[in-house]
């Protein structure tokens, strides 16, 4: 069961890495202890995840650290992946909005 959860979590995180290439730099770790290195600071992402019921923390300013219990269930991994996807999507949309607004201002000048 544990080995299956490790495989599921790494596969799902790699899918998120492909989806959010501009935000996720690297996924690394051993077993279920994983770090998701971002191209941005992770404090806002951690705050949003906690608000959505996911407990993670931030290390080195840009690494979301995952330390789930050994008794984690597949449903809990799926819940985390779903919430992480939501938060990354929110951040990406905000970043695009800021970029779009700055480009509009440049074009006006």
Answer for the pair 105, 40: CB distance below 8 angstroms, yes or no: no
The boundaries of the domain holding residue 58 are: 2-108
Strands (E), the chain: 24-30, 33-38, 57-59, 63-66
pLDDT value, residue 66: 93
**Maximum pairwise Cα distance, the chain:** 59
pLDDT of residue 7: 77
Report the number of distinct structural domains present in the chain: 1
Kindly calculate the radius of gyration of the chain based on its CA atoms and give it in whole angstroms: 15
Instruction: State residue 32 phi and psi, 5-degree precision.
Output: -90, -10
With 60 as the cut, is the pLDDT of residue 102 above it?
no
Q: Is the model's pLDDT at 100 over the cut of 60?
A: no
Indicate which CATH number applies to the domain containing 97.
Answer: 3.90.1150.10
For the segment 23-49, what is each residue's pLDDT rounded down to a tens digit? 999 999 988 899 999 999 999 999 999
Q: Which long-range contacts (CB under 8 A, 24 or more apart) does 46-54 make?
A: 48/87, 48/90, 49/83, 49/84, 49/87, 52/83, 52/86, 52/87, 53/79, 53/83, 54/79, 54/80, 54/83, 54/84
Which of 7 and 40 is assigned the larger pLDDT? 40
pLDDT tens digits along 42-98: 999 999 999 999 999 999 999 999 998 888 888 999 999 999 999 999 999 987 655
How many beta carbons lie within 10 A of that of residue 5, not counting itself? 19
């Amino acid at each position: 069961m544990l080995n299956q959860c490790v495989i599921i979590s790494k596969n799902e995180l790699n899918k998120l890495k492909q989806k959010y290439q501009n935000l996720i730099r690297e996924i690394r770790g051993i077993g279920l202890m994983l770090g998701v290195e971002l191209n941005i600071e992770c404090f806002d992402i951690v705050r949003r995840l906690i608000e959505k019921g996911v407990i993670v923390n931030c290390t080195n300013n840009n690494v979301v650290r995952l330390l789930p219990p050994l008794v984690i269930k597949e449903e809990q991994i799926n819940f985390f992946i779903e919430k992480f996807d939501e938060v990354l999507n929110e951040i990406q949309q905000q970043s695009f909005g800021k970029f779009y607004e700055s480009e509009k201002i440049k074009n006006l000048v």
